[in-house]
Structure formats: structure tokens, C-alpha cells
Amino acid sequence: MFDEFKNAFQRYNNGHVQLIIVNVAIFVALGILFVAAKISNTQPIFQIVYDQFTLPSTLLDFFSKPWTLITYSFAHYYNYEFGSVGILHILINMLVFYWFGKLFVEYLGSDKLVAVYILGGLSGGILYLLLYNTIPFFMEQPSILVGASASVFAVVVAAATLLPDYTFFLLFIGPVRIKYIAAFYVVVSFLGSVGSNAGGEIAHLGGAFIGFVYIKQLQAGVNWGSWITLTIDFVKDLFKPKPKVKVTYRKDEEKKSKQAPPKTKGASNVSQAELDAILDKISAGGYESLTKDEKEKLFNASKK
């Protein structure tokens, strides 16, 4: 299993699978800690770790852990108090992401997929913070944000903007163009932005917005995610093994270059006439008809 995961990160244009593995790995790691904390009744330990992956709605809490603007989009729902785990939360997110991410990678590659995923998470988180700190309706109900949905929405809308008439065959429904699938998700999120999961639905809309803008800008020749690609490449280069430096001496190289190549014994003693005679003898009686001396001359001549 670990070999397969390792190969997944070495395979070309496999960003959608790599991001799924990262999401699942974080979910499993938090799940192990969740179960251990429940059994040992050590809720504070789990909560401290889990809080590093959840984006708070208040600016004061956010400024104390600004990295959560990125980490929240790589984790999924856990509720210690009720002992509930967001299996469906991560399952639906990763299934939708796989279908649309695979299509995205096929046309634009893994680097741009990762860029859209991160941009979607950032855009969704920023819109969430903006509304929850400016609009009284949302300020009255502080919450936390966790899950890859905003990033997934960014990929879904980006793919639908790039290839609006591409068709998916949905179970029990049949062929549906992906622009209608994306539009359905956006409308549902907009209607749910005043419901029980208002924060999540707002983040969805933020992700969808950046997915649309990213493709439109890319079609205009501007890559909004280039800085993400450059940053990731820079970090990767830090962990790449450095090639060993081979030390050579110029004087030794000059001496070697000045030295004439060694002459093969007997090579210069074979004239063209002798060589022609040997080749005629081979044609007439085969290689075995040659004498030992003739074989040696032929061998030496072949080294010229």
C-alpha cells in the first residue's frame, strides 16, 4: 500500500490522486487521535490538534493561527462532543474532486489543478471571514470552517468553465453537461448560505468564484496560480538530493589530451592491398580459411 502511495507521487500528471491521498491521510490521522482521545477521555489533546486545521470565524482567533486559511481545506469534519465523524463529508468531496479533477488534469495538467485547489480554499476562506466579520446576520452565529468543499467547488466550476459542454453520465439520470452540474451546485450553495451550514455554503461560493475567474484569466493569458506552482517547486527543490560534485584537474586533462592515442600493434602494418586480399579469401573460402596471421591482421585493421 505504501509503495502504491509512493508511486502515486512519482507519477506524472497525477495531482488529483495526490491531493486525495493527502486529504485521506490527514483524515485518518485525526481519526486515530479522535478515537484514542475518546477512549482515554483526553479531549483537550484532540481539540488542540484539530483546531490547527479549522478556520475560526472571528478575526481575533484567526490572527492567532493564520495558517488555518490553508489547512482547513485539507481536513474534514469531526465532532468530539457528539462522537460524530464526517465520513460522508470526505467521501462526497473526494469523489466529486476525482471526477472533475481527472478531467481538469487531462487538459491543463497537475500544476494548475493544485493551484486551483489552493486558490479555491483561500478564496472560500477569505469570503467566509469577510462576511462573518462585516454582516450582523453572520456575526451573531460564530462558527468554524473545515473541509475541502471550497477547493472542490473551485475545480468543478473551473472544469465547467473550460469545457462547459463536456458530458458526464450520472447514475439514474444519464448524460448531463458539466456546466449544469456546476450551476446546480452553485445554486444549492447560494440557497443554503442562510441555513445551518451557512459558513460552508459561503466558502463554496468563494471557491466557485475563483474557479471561474481563474479559467477566464488563463484564457486571457494570465495564470493566477503561477506563484503557487513556483512556491511548491521551490519547496520540492529544498528536499531533492544534491548531486555529488566531481573534482577534476585541468592540468591532468590537458596532459591526457596531448597524449597521442596508443597504436594497436600491427594495425599500421596492414596495407589496403593485403586487406583486400584477405577479404577476397573470406569471400571464396570463408573466415576459417584464413591463417592465424591473416586473422590477426584483419582484427587489427578493424580497430582503425
Q: What pairs with residue 79 in β-bridges?
A: 84
User: In this predicted structure, what is the pLDDT of residue 264?
Assistant: 45
Which grid coordinates are listed for 176?
A: 448531463
State the SS3 of 108-124.
HCHHHHHHHHHHHHHHH
* Separation CA 279–CA 271 (nearest Å): 12
Domain spans in the chain, listed from the N-terminal domain onward: 2-239, 264-302
CATH annotation of 2-239: 1.20.1540.10
Q: What is the pTM of this model?
A: 0.78
* Separation CA 297–CA 293 (nearest Å): 6
User: In this predicted structure, what is the pLDDT of residue 155?
Assistant: 98
Question: 3-state class of 169 per DSSP?
Answer: strand
DSSP 248: -
pLDDT, tens digit, for every residue of 280-289? 777 666 666 6
Q: Flag residues of the chain having pLDDT under 50.
A: 263-268
User: In this predicted structure, what is the pLDDT of residue 265?
Assistant: 46
CA dihedral 168→169→175→181, nearest 10 degrees, is: -50
User: In this predicted structure, what is the pLDDT of residue 152?
Assistant: 97
